[in-house]
Amino acid sequence: MKKITTPVSDEAIRDLKVGDSVAISGMMLTGRDAAHKWMIDTFIKKTRPPQGDDLQVYEELKKLLNGAVIYHCGPVVAGLDTKEYKFIAAGPTTSIREEPYQADVMKHFNVKGVIGKGGMGAKTLKGCQETPSVYFHAIGGAASFLAQTVTKVHSVFKMEFGVPEAMWLIEVKDFPVVVTMDSHGGSQHTVIDEASRKVLDQLLEKPY
């Protein structure tokens, strides 16, 4: 198993290939649908003006996401009343929902890795080559186990989105993932999809 620590260099990202098992340590930010749409609309495509603390958060994100990892995760968090936050569950969210946004977010903020489940599409794969970046597949159904790799919750941004959709700044130790989309154009998800389609076509051709 390869070990990487955020922030991650371009060289370390290019060294990763589809199929590599990786343990990630360091800082990462969670981000799902609301966060990605907000970043795109407010700062990349600029289809809405910044509101409230948007500009302040943006300046923080530019520093925090540079060379870092975004985790598609809607955590269960304890300590909301006291703000002594602790992740109770931290399983991956289905990533394909972020396909319209992910490549642009990676390039704009220089994000070096995206963690989720289920893989992503052609636009994100191209973004992985251009940034460069990689897509890491996390273990579905292991939310409690993955939460144990979170050693500290440092802060949270955009809590008005709700707990699952807010951007949580967390520190992790040996967070386990597998590279399924790399910076060289490799995608295990494409391979599986093409193989599955061939099997389906063969089944549909059989007379009954």
| pLDDT for res 188 | 78
Range of the domain at 98: 2-205
| 177 in Cβ contact with 24 (< 8 Å) | yes
Quick one: pLDDT at residue 126? 97
The domain tally of the chain equals: 1
Q: Mean pLDDT per 10-residue run, the chain (208 residues)? A: 96 96 98 98 96 96 97 97 96 96 98 96 96 96 96 97 98 97 87 59 66
- What is the rounded distance in angstroms from the CA atom of residue 111 to the CA atom of residue 7? 9
Structure token pair of residue 16: 């990763």
The helix or strand, by DSSP H or E, that contains position 23, with its residue range, turns out to be strand 21-30
pLDDT at 196: 58
pLDDT for res 205:
75
Neighbour tally for 169: CB within 10 Å = 18
Task: Give the C-alpha separation, 49 to 187, whole Å.
Answer: 36
Kind and range of the H or E element at 157? strand 150-157
Burial class from Cβ neighbours inside 10 Å (0-12, 13-18, 19+) for residue 190 reads middle
Q: How far is residue 128's CA from residue 106's CA, in Å, rounded to a whole number? A: 8
Assign residue 141 the CATH number of its domain: 3.20.130.10
User: Residues 128, 135: contact at Cβ < 8 Å?
Assistant: yes
> Angle at which helices 122-130 and 102-109 pack, to 10 degrees?
10
DSSP-based three-state secondary structure for 141: coil
Residues involved in catalysis: 36
Amino acid 201: pLDDT: 64
Q: Amino acid identity, residue 144?
A: S
Per-residue pLDDT, 101? 98
pTM for this predicted structure: 0.90
